[in-house]
Amino acid sequence: MYWTLELASYLEDAPWPATKEELIDYSMRRAAPLEVVENLQSIEEEGEIYESIEDIWPDYPTKDDFFFNEDEY
């Protein structure tokens, strides 16, 4: 399983919290790339509720990971 920012962006508007099956259904209805569905299918925990993308991809970058000053823009 691998994630990129582009793949994870397809789950930004997902109905959080959600189960693995709900996320797969959402991805398929949104016509997300096959890699997104495959990544979700490879999750082993059945029936677990995920609160956000960070629960699926622990290394998901947050605003703190980017080095720019928002006040300058």
Instruction: Report the range of poorest mean pLDDT among 4-18, 23-37, 59-73.
Output: 59-73
Give the separation between CA 5 and CA 12, rounded to whole angstroms: 10
Neighbours of 69 (CB within 10 A): 6
- Per-residue pLDDT, 31: 95
> Does residue 7 lie in a domain region?
no
> Does residue 44 lie in a domain region?
yes
> Does residue 45 lie in a domain region?
yes
Domain enclosing residue 40, as ranges: 15-57
> Does residue 53 lie in a domain region?
yes
- Per-residue pLDDT, 68: 56
> Does residue 66 lie in a domain region?
no
> Does residue 72 lie in a domain region?
no
Alpha helices in 1-73 (DSSP H): 5-9, 20-29, 34-41, 53-56
Per the structure, the count of domains in the chain is 1
> Does residue 69 lie in a domain region?
no
- Per-residue pLDDT, 66: 52
pLDDT tens sequence across 16-60? 999 999 999 999 999 999 999 999 999 988 789 999 999 998 888
Give the separation between CA 38 and CA 63, rounded to whole angstroms: 27
- Per-residue pLDDT, 55: 92
Neighbours of 54 (CB within 10 A): 13
